[in-house]
Structure 1
């Protein structure tokens, strides 16, 4: 067998020594790196501040007009004219229908004639009474004649009063021939047109006028929620009826006018345990129409010093209990068990386990390990969170 040259052996020996030196340097570098302190973990924190918060129940409700007037005839007759356009806005006391007034004018004239006749009879009775009274003073007429003249005068006065009352009634019936709206609002369809017979005893109105510049929204709320709200409002010094009601349109969008609770019914529905609540809502653009079903956010609870955290700040332990990661003065994070209340606009109300001015980790909770120092930055809600 041939021997390898001496130069090859020397080269192999040198390469082996270089490899061992490189490994030794890498191991030393790793040891040096492990001995350096770990960099702080960056998290976003929120300093919790107490604030007044109102919790709402979102309830279905039905819209009704602020005022509704059924237009009916008070006298019977043939409709001669219709004086409005269907769907138009009308003023109070605006004429709507004209019943043929000829019959009523004739009755007014007849009553006027009767009044003129009885007034003439009154004049004659007064003259006779004065003459009889003068003769009786001279003892020319008897007392009976004076009594008869006084009775005739009183009868004439009564006839005049009756004729005046009858004339006033006939004039009133003549005025009723022009049917007017008692309120201002929007008039709907006409149920009777020209040539139709308007009857004072009809069950169907001629038309309906509704005032909707403000409307009522009727909802039903749990009696328990109502009792809770009244108790919490009295503790905070607020009046439950003064809290605004938020309205959602039929499309689910927020309505720009808040409502005001007027009253709640005194009776509880035995089948549902709820009470009826009436809400008054401004409606200047007439966007809310009578009969429309919408949703209303009615106050359910009020907290004067509520502590709130964003929904994403809440973590859960293996059993599902809610926790928050709180940063202490030494910039170390620790988990804390809390009790959560209602979720309001993406934020939980913390009922217990948290104190005011605590720094809560909102983003980066998984980086807050035991013994790891934290680098905190203020939590900034996203544009979507702010909008929501």
Structure 2
């Protein structure tokens, strides 16, 4: 019996030692547990431009309808359809013969009026000494003076009529009022035209510069005006094709809208674009990238780093001790998968981008630099 009791005592003593050893190793295991692996990004201020792509339509800077100012038969068309026309170039020739005849007739009337006024003046000069000598009555002299004044008025009227007839003759040559590209001729030789015609003879549009008209919400118009008047880089608009591809053309905003559409709340935003190669034609639908805001030192975080609790945006920030803490932030625009940080963070802080699902306050982490995934555009460029 004694030997069995001694053996049982030894076993119990061993178990007690193992239990004590286990109690001592638990905190040691907790202290030596590995930190969580996370990917972080260091916040750095950068220039950020916010823009919006809106549909737009091209309009000519200047447009003119060619119309006849006199009635007559079109004899000649003196331009190539679709050609560039200089201001003052003769486009159509209306038969000038009737107007030349009217000029000659008006000139003859003026000549007769000049002869009448000369005779009336001579009569007054003859009667002046006779009326003083009472050789003729005063009434006779007054009648001669009245005839002289009437003859002078007839001369003035004849001159005006002759000027008008010469102007009609000039209008027989239909000229271009502006420089630009002329469209197709809408009348042909032999057609009878008149100033009352509903259809013009042709149209000219100046398209070396064009307007790109955009409908923009009136609520952001003041912001655009402030940017245009500030010290920020020039407020320009990039023109894109209807498919969204850049055309390599840039314009400037004119702010020509003066009335807000009561139904949509939009205002016309007019953009002036140089068009030396005539790539933009009036009526063409394009897209315009309109600047909305510009920040010279913005902070941005990837969308995947932001979590929301009860509507409050938060990110995990790594402190100097390698521990993470949740920080409430205010975010602004979402651009290219990144939120602009309005408040709550400062430059130089490290924000956790990947591994946030395992984090808890004061958790120890091991950080590595976050590498953003390549975009489709970058992958396509690398493939080429």
TM above 0.5, one fold? yes
1:47 paired to 2:43: yes
DSSP 3-state at the match of 1:145: helix
Cα offset, 1:198, TM superposition: 1.3
Query: Distance in 1 between the 2:348 and 2:246 partners?
Result: 33
Q: 1:237 to 1:167 in 2, by over 3 A?
A: closer
1:44-102, Cα deviation, whole Å (9 max, x unpaired): 63432154x44323221211111110000001111100001111110111111000111
Deviations 1:155-206, CA, capped at 9 Å, x for gaps: 1111111111000000000010010110011111111111111121100001
Higher mean C-alpha deviation, range 58-67 or range 268-277:
268-277
1:257 aligns with 249
> Contact 1:260/1:281 (CA < 8 Å) preserved in 2?
yes
Asked whether 1:111 is paired with 2:130, we answer no
Aligned to 2:3: none
Q: Deviations over 1:322-348 (max 9, x none)?
A: 544444344555553433221235542
1:153 equivalenced with 2:148 (yes/no): yes
**TM-score of the pair, normalised by structure 2:** 0.78
Aligned runs of 1:185-200 on 2, under 5 Å? 185-200=180-195
Aligned residue number for residue 281 of structure 2: 289
- TM-score, with normalisation over the residues of structure 1? 0.77
**Match of 2:343?**
352
**Partner SS, residue 281 of structure 1:** strand
Q: Greater shift after overlay, 126-135 or 337-346?
A: 337-346
Hey, what does 1:76 align to over in structure 2? 71
Query: Is this contact kept in 2: 1:50–1:356, CA < 8 A?
Result: no
Residue-by-residue CA offset, 1:310-367 (whole Å, 9 max, x unaligned): x366344688975444443445555534332212355421123222333445678789
Gaps of 5+ in 1: 1-33
Q: Calculate the aligned-residue CA RMSD, in Å.
A: 3.7
Report the Cα distance in structure 1 between the residues aligned to 2:119 and 2:112, rounded to whole angstroms.
Answer: 11
Structure 2 unaligned segments of length 5 or more: list them: 1-29
Q: 1:252 to 1:377 in 2, by over 3 A?
A: closer
* 1:281-310 alpha-carbon deviations (Å, 9 max, x no partner): 22222111111111222333454653233x
Change (3 A) 1:364 1:109: farther
Instruction: Verify the 8 A CA contact 2:38 2:366 in the aligned structure 1.
Output: no
Counterpart contact for 1:312–1:363, Cα < 8 Å: no
Please give the secondary structure, in 2, of the residue aligned with 1:350: strand
- 2:38, 2:353 within 8 Å by CA — same for their partners in 1? no
CA-to-aligned-CA distance 1:210-260 (integer Å, 9 cap, x gap): 011111122222233335555xx38x96299x7322321223122333222
Give the 3-state SS of the residue equivalent to 2:277 in structure 1.
coil
Cross-structure match for 1:339: 330
